[in-house]
Amino acid sequence: MERLARAGFQLLPALQITSHYVLERDGFVALVERLPDGSFGQSGAPGLLTEGAIAQLVWKKEGPRFVAKGFNRPATTDQVESLRRFHADLSDCLLTPDS
């Protein structure tokens, strides 16, 4: 958890989700598997945190969009790059043990 905190990630409370952790940074979130011993497992695809949902980045004819049930809006170039950094940093934190 220290490595995640140093990278700017925070654990969001999600009492209704017992099988995964919800990690957030800069408005983006990802579900991360909660292993039986309480440690972090694999991460799901990150997305944009919306009211009650995670909007996934999808590529349409008109360009990148964040899409969730009842939510569909264009993604800016900066948002796409930020989401890529989020995913890369999260993967690095989860794959590299604390030292």
Phi and psi at 86, nearest 5°, equal -55, -50
Cα gap 61→40, rounded to integer Å? 36
User: How does residue 99 score in pLDDT terms, banded at 50, 70 and 90?
Assistant: very low
Cα gap 3→14, rounded to integer Å? 21
Q: What total number of domains does the chain contain?
A: 1
* pLDDT given at position 2: 87
Which structural domain, as residue segments, surrounds residue 65? Answer: 2-95
Query: 44-91, pLDDT tens digit by residue?
Result: 999 999 987 899 999 999 999 999 999 999 999 999 999 999 999 999
